[in-house]
């Protein structure tokens, strides 16, 4: 007889019960897809033989959705094998907001084929096929896959050293998986297939291109419908689409991953930079600029050569190897070393809008969100150990101001810890992680741990901002680095006259300017706040006779530093107004005969419509009250 305990104090003594049976006895089985057994995610069908603490995993919880989506990927693979005999299956994990599965299909498919696959999935779901976990000897499983020609599964088995491998079976389909999974396929009624893409086997461009099908799954119809509505809104806000329509940027075939910014896009970027520069000056930063190309030896010294080389571009100068910088920090360290520093110079806050290049695979490039060349709003702070906490709190205050106060984003914070390819000793990492966590606790900002996602040279605090339709974007980061100061042998003279090692803080707020622009486009659906709008006022004369007055108004607006355009096209007034609305211009000035004779302006707002007639002085006062963080 074993004893089982619930989180709320429930107790049950039973012999070899199933997890589901225990939860049912406690009345906790409804809406549950799996359970934590002594903290480990476990199938509901699992029979228990020893004492355990049991906690249900609800379908709508984050862990429950992971179980549903991973199970749905198996369901999709089963449906594909039914519809396309001869298909070879690869891998099918759950991902954020959904799942995918990679296949080698006998013939190409398109998104038009997804409806048929969905229909087969629905049939399998209605059949309520039991999902069973098996433990199969490694050799037996390998022989089975090789005999069936499942080359991808066989390759995966070759990489596994366990004597037995867990396999999940539902009807005529089996797949290797750690689990857990839903008890039967009837739990998978609320699924939707989303898109088809290409994906190299194991992400290696040297391997075969497989067909990847993306989908999602939810616990109920309402969750699925809300998600699909959100995705439709995301398509409407797609920064690539709006970038074309608003003439902000383009990416040409001659430079994949290297965006070209058009005049209106540059207006937005330049206003962002102007704001960035003014705010940094206010907060005690100095600005530097470092070279785009630097000697290989520098990148060996920094550790990038050993830990980041696959993401870098290279060249040769005077028969010596050089690299195009993927990060700004090594150049910043050279600036620090260029003169002797005293403890009186610290904290030293060096900011840089540095252009960096990183080699991204063509398959992951995505508009401005994932590019090969971007401008990083970097800063590197050199501090004494006693200054670490205060400087981190200062960066967090800057981040809060930019995200929440200026742009209206909500955000959450994560502490990312030591990764597998970490540089330096575990003791040094523990010291750095503790320093970051101490600052987070003092700030009072809620945070969560993101294990193993730190930079190779140090742990970091990541800021994930949330846009108006609930999507999150990782932008800002604070990285605490004890490694680089050692590698570059940087010092400062302390009060005792001796040489001491400073601590280095790497920091971004906007992150990549290009990516931040993409986020802003989607967050505001192209309707930028007045202060960064490419065109702030559109002047629209009703007839050609009003052109002279319109030009006077244009000149007056420009004298107030207002960005203004005139629409002198031979079009109807309604079309001119609609076009200005489509271009997301904050204000329109409609100038007819009455306005011309009275020296007034008929003002329209892009959201609230007609604001009535104003004098130029009243308009100037109104525009002067528009929010502008640069003033």
329 is catalytic: yes
471 is catalytic: no
- Give the whole-angstrom CA distance, residue 185 versus residue 491: 63
Whether a cis peptide bond, with omega within 30° of 0, leads into 180 is: yes
376 is catalytic: yes
DSSP 428: H
286 is catalytic: no
Q: Which of 66, 88, 329, 479 is catalytic?
A: 329
Q: Are 553 and 601 within 8 A, CB to CB? A: yes
Q: Are 468 and 399 within 8 A, CB to CB? A: no
* Helix H or strand E encompassing 617: helix 616-624
Q: Which of 181, 380, 389, 418 is catalytic?
A: 380
Q: Are 410 and 466 within 8 A, CB to CB? A: yes
Q: Which residues contact 383 (CB under 8 A, 6 or more apart)?
A: 346, 347, 348, 391, 502, 503, 504, 505
Q: How far apart are the first and last CA of the chain?
A: 73
Decide: residue 24, CB within 10 A, 0-12 exposed, 13-18 middle, 19+ buried. middle
Long-range contacts of 430-433 (CB under 8 A, 24+ apart): 431/482, 432/458, 432/459, 432/480, 432/481, 432/482, 433/459
Q: Which of 78, 376, 483, 536 is catalytic?
A: 376
Sign of the alpha-carbon torsion through 609, 613, 615, 616: positive
373 is catalytic: no
Q: Which of 45, 389, 460, 606 is catalytic?
A: 460
Q: Which of 153, 280, 506, 538 is catalytic?
A: 506
Distance of CA 448 to the CA centre of its chain: 17
Q: Which of 102, 184, 377, 378 is catalytic?
A: 378
123 is catalytic: no
Q: Which of 190, 280, 358, 576 is catalytic?
A: 358
- Give the whole-angstrom CA distance, residue 568 versus residue 546: 10
Q: Which residues are catalytic?
A: 329, 358, 376, 378, 380, 460, 506
């Amino acid at each position: 007889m074993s004893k089982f305990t619930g989180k709320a104090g429930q107790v049950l003594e039973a012999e070899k019960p199933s997890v589901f049976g225990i939860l049912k006895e406690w009345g906790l089985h409804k809406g549950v897809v799996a359970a934590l057994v002594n903290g480990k995610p476990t199938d509901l069908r699992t029979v228990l033989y020893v004492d355990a603490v049991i906690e249900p995993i609800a379908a709508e919880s984050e862990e429950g959705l992971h179980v549903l989506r991973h199970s749905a990927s198996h369901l999709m693979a089963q449906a594909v094998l039914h519809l396309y005999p001869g298909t070879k299956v690869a891998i099918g994990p759950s991902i954020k907001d959904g799942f995918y599965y990679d296949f080698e299909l006998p013939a190409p498919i398109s998104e038009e084929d997804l409806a048929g696959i969905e229909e087969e999935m629905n049939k399998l779901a209605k059949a309520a096929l039991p999902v069973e976990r098996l433990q199969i000897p490694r050799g037996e499983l390998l022989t089975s896959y090789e005999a069936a020609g499942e080359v991808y599964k066989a390759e995966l088995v070759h990489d596994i050293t366990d004597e037995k491998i867990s396999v999940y079976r539902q009807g005529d389909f089996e797949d290797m998986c750690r689990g857990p999974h839903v008890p039967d396929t009837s739990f998978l009624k609320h699924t939707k297939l989303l898109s088809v893409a290409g994906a190299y086997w194991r992400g290696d461009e040297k391997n075969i291109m497989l067909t990847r099908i993306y989908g999602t799954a939810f616990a109920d119809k309402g969750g699925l419908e809300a998600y699909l509505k959100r995705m439709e809104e995301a398509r409407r806000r797609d920064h690539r689409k709006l970038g074309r329509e608003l003439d902000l940027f383009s990416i040409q075939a001659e430079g994949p991953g290297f965006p070209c910014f058009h005049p209106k896009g540059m207006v937005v970027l330049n206003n962002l930079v102007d704001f960035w520069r003014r705010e940094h000056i206010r907060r005690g930063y100095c600005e530097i600029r470092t070279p785009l190309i630097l000697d290989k030896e520098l990148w060996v010294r920094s550790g990038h050569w050993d830990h980041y080389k696959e993401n870098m571009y290279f060249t040769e100068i005077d028969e010596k190897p050089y690299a195009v910088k993927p990060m700004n920090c090594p150049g910043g360290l050279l600036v620090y070393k260029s003169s002797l520093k005293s403890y009186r110079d610290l904290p030293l806050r060096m900011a840089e809008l540095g252009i960096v290049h990183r080699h991204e695979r063509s398959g992951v490039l995505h508009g401005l969100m994932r590019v090969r060349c971007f401008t990083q709003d970097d800063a590197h702070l050199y501090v004494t150990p006693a200054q670490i906490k205060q400087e981190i709190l200062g960066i967090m205050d800057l981040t809060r101001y930019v995200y929440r106060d200026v742009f209206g984003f909500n955000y959450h914070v994560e502490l990312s810890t030591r990764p597998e390819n970490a540089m330096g000793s575990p003791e040094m990492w523990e010291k750095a992680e503790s320093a970051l966590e101490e600052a987070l606790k003092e700030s009072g900002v809620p945070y969560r741990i993101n294990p193993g996602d730190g930079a190779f040279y140090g742990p970091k605090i990541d800021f994930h901002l949330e846009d108006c339709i609930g999507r999150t974007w990782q932008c800002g980061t604070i990285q605490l680095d004890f490694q680089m100061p050692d590698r570059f042998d940087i010092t400062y003279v302390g009060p005792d006259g001796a040489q001491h090692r400073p601590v280095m803080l790497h920091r971004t707020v906007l992150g990549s300017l290009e990516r931040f622009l993409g986020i802003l486009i989607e967050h505001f659906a192209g309707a930028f706040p007045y202060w960064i709008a490419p065109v702030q006022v559109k002047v629209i004369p009703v007839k050609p006779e009003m052109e002279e007055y319109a030009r006077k108004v244009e000149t007056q607006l420009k004298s107030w530093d207002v960005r203004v355009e005139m629409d002198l096209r031979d079009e109807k007034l309604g079309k001119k107004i609609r076009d200005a609305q489509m271009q997301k211009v904050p204000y329109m000035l409609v100038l007819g005969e009455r306005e011309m004779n009275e020296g007034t302006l008929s003002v329209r707002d892009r959201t609230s419509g007609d604001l009535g007639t104003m004098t130029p002085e009243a308009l100037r006062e109104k525009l002067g009250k528009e929010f502008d963080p640069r003033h």
